[in-house]
């Protein structure tokens, strides 16, 4: 039995890791100075970090209250709401972009309201952040809701009985207990935002320095310099790996 | 008083910043045009500044249909622009370039490279773009014209989402031959791949077209950008990348 488990685990590791090593090995590293010098790659990587971090922040801001609402309240339509807010996860990416265009584009209901305020979202960095949040926030919400559901509420009752205020209970008891769910959800949310392509190109466009994140720059490079596209892919991978290691819970 | 003065100077600078430098045009272009459109814009003598957003033609058309504010749209299928024009979203499209489908093959461990005329008479692993994308539809039309479609379907090992996928399968996955756009194989980029032209009679007409977007804030400049695509200078750049005349 133990041999079987080990063998399956080894197979899984090989399956997941070998393609990544292949990408790194196949990339023409000698072209790195050239790729870096024309400015497209560094700008795209920088924008990727900015957009993905902003998307995680936004997802936390809107996702944490939603997860709380879903986990701690019984109300009509709760199951429906839960299904609806996690749905963007399963949308094919370009469809997610078209959905955003339909809602937030100039002809959409939210877009018209924004236009009244003089705001045009498409082709801005804000649109790229929204596109990334739209597809990645559900990952954070499901992780947080799961964490909240597994929390033993007696800890909170004890804290309250000992005289802690609701804010104290939240900060000193609930959040520390939620930490694993929060960190796991945040990592998944961030990874999804970093790799986002379809919703971004459809809703925010593919403008260098504005909405052209690394995946979009790879798409454009593939048309003309496929070797450098692989190289940028390997750089994105290396960057993500570095951040994962640095942000690993200790 | 000083605060007021600084404020008015800032306001004047802001106004100057808004008027003195014209906004660069926003050009939505088909991904296959990325290199050539940038080159044409950079060599433009009129000082037309442009920024580009490259995506699939279908995505660009969706963006214009949804009312996104851009100045120029340039796509790989003029039929797509007709729909936008009839809805008043764009002006009259200008056809400015053409492309052709070519047979591409490589020598493999199993033998020398497969010639188009040998399709069906020798075992081969063939790769085409999916019939749902223009490149795949064009390839099938050409093969049908040569009476080779059945032989091709029998040898087909993969259908790709785009021409890029066909080339990858040839480069990395051991496929023997495929059909791609001529512009995807600039001389020298893929030394291991050999290119064969199709007979003129079965070569599908593949055109590229551009138009001014009706919502453009600078329609005159957008019009100049579209018009320059037909200039001798642009023609020369397009030809150097393998595009034909319209």
Residues of chain B with pLDDT under 50: 1-2, 6-21
The answer to whether the CB atoms of B62 and A98 lie below 8 A apart is yes
CATH number of B2-98+207-240: 3.40.190.10
B54: nearest Cα among A41, A93, A201, A233: A201
Smallest CA–CA distance from B51 into chain A, residue? A207
Return the residue of B nearest to A201 by Cα: B55
Residue of B nearest to A226 (CA): B164
**What per-residue confidence (pLDDT) applies to A40?**
92
Is B172 within 8 Å of B162 (Cβ atoms)?
Answer: no
CATH 3.40.190.10 in chain B is located at 2-98+207-240, 101-202
Size of interface A-B (CB pairs under 8 A): 66
Q: What is the DSSP string of B136-182?
A: HHHHHHHHHHTT-HHHHHHHEEEEESSHHHHHHHHHHS---EEEEEG
- Distance from C-alpha of A228 to C-alpha of B59, rounded to nearest angstrom: 24
CATH architecture of B101-202: 3-Layer(aba) Sandwich (3.40)
Whole-angstrom distance, CA of residue A204 vs CA of residue A182: 28
Give the residue from chain B lying closest to A104, CA to CA. Answer: B66
Separation in Å, CA of A7 to nearest CA in chain B: 27
Place of tokens 């749902």: B132
Q: Per residue of chain A (250 residues), what is the pLDDT tens digit?
A: 899 999 999 999 999 999 899 888 888 899 899 889 989 999 999 999 999 999 999 999 999 999 999 999 989 999 999 999 988 888 887 789 999 999 999 889 999 999 888 888 999 999 999 999 999 999 999 999 999 999 998 999 999 999 999 999 999 999 999 999 999 999 999 999 999 999 999 999 999 999 999 999 999 998 888 888 989 999 999 888 888 887 776 6
Q: Is A118 on the interface with B (CB under 8 A)?
A: no
Interface test with A, best of B25, B66, B169, B242 (most A CBs within 10 A): B66
Q: Do A101 and B66 touch (CB under 8 A)?
A: yes
Indicate the pTM of the whole model.
Answer: 0.84
CA nearest neighbour of B69 among B232, B220, B214, B170: B214
**Chain B residue set in contact with A, beta carbons under 8 Å:** 26, 28, 31-32, 34-35, 51-55, 59, 62-63, 66-70, 164, 167-168
B26 CB neighbours in chain A (<8 A) are: 123, 207
Question: The tokens of B243 are what?
Answer: 């595009």
User: In the prediction, which pLDDT does B244 show?
Assistant: 92
- Smallest CA–CA distance, residue B161 to chain A, in Å, is 13
CB contact A155 to B (< 8 Å): no
DSSP state of A95: H
Rounded alpha-carbon distances, angstroms, from residue A161 to A133, A165, A226, A229, B192: 39, 10, 64, 60, 77
CB-based contacts of B112, cutoff 8 Å, min separation 6: none
What domains appear along chain A, each with residue ranges and CATH number? 40-246 (1.10.3720.10)
């Amino acid at each position: 039995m133990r041999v079987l488990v080990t063998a399956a685990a080894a197979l899984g590791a090989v399956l997941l890791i070998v393609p990544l090593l292949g990408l790194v090995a196949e990339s023409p590293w000698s072209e790195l100075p050239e790729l870096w010098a024309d400015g497209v790659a560094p700008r795209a990587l920088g924008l990727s970090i900015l957009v993905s971090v902003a998307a995680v922040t936004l997802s936390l801001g809107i996702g944490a209250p939603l997860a709380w609402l879903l986990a701690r309240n019984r109300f009509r339509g709760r199951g429906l709401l839960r299904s609806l807010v996690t749905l963007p996860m399963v949308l094919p990416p370009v469809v997610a972009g078209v959905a955003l265009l339909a809602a937030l584009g100039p002809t959409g209901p939210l877009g018209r309201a924004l236009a009244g305020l003089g705001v045009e979202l498409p082709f801005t960095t804000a649109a790229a952040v929204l596109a990334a949040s739209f597809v990645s926030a559900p990952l954070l919400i499901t992780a947080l809701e799961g964490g909240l559901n597994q929390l033993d509420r007696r800890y909170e009752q004890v804290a309250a009985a000992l005289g802690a205020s609701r804010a104290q209970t939240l900060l000193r008891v609930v959040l520390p207990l939620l930490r694993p769910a929060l960190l796991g959800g945040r990592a998944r949310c961030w990874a999804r935002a970093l790799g986002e392509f379809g919703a971004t190109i459809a809703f925010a466009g593919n403008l260098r320095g504005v909405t052209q994140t690394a995946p979009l720059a790879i798409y454009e490079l593939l048309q003309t310099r496929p070797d450098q596209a692989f190289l940028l892919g390997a750089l994105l991978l290396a960057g993500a790996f570095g951040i994962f290691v640095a942000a690993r819970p200790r | 008083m000083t605060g007021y003065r600084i404020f008015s100077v800032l306001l004047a600078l802001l106004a100057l910043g808004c008027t003195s430098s014209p906004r660069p045009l926003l050009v939505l272009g088909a991904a296959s045009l990325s290199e050539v459109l940038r080159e044409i814009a950079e060599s433009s003598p009129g000082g037309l500044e442009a920024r580009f957003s490259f995506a699939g033609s279908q995505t660009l058309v969706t963006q214009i249909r949804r009312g996104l504010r851009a100045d120029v749209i340039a796509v790989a299928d003029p039929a797509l622009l007709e729909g936008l024009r009839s809805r008043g979203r764009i002006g009259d499209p200008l056809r400015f370039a053409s492309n052709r489908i070519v047979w591409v093959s490589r020598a493999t461990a199993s033998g020398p490279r497969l010639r188009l005329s040998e399709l069906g008479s020798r075992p081969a692993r063939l790769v085409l773009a999916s019939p749902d994308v223009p490149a795949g539809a064009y390839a099938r039309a050409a093969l049908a014209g040569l009476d080779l479609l059945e032989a091709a379907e029998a040898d087909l090992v993969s259908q790709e989402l785009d021409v890029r996928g066909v080339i990858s399968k040839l480069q990395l996955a051991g496929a023997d031959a495929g059909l791609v756009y001529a512009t995807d194989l600039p001389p020298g980029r893929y030394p291991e791949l050999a290119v064969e032209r199709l007979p003129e009679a079965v070569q599908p007409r593949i055109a590229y077209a551009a138009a001014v977007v009706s919502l453009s804030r600078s329609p005159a400049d957008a019009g100049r950008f579209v018009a320059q695509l037909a200039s001798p200078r642009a023609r020369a750049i397009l030809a150097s990348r393998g595009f034909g005349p319209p």
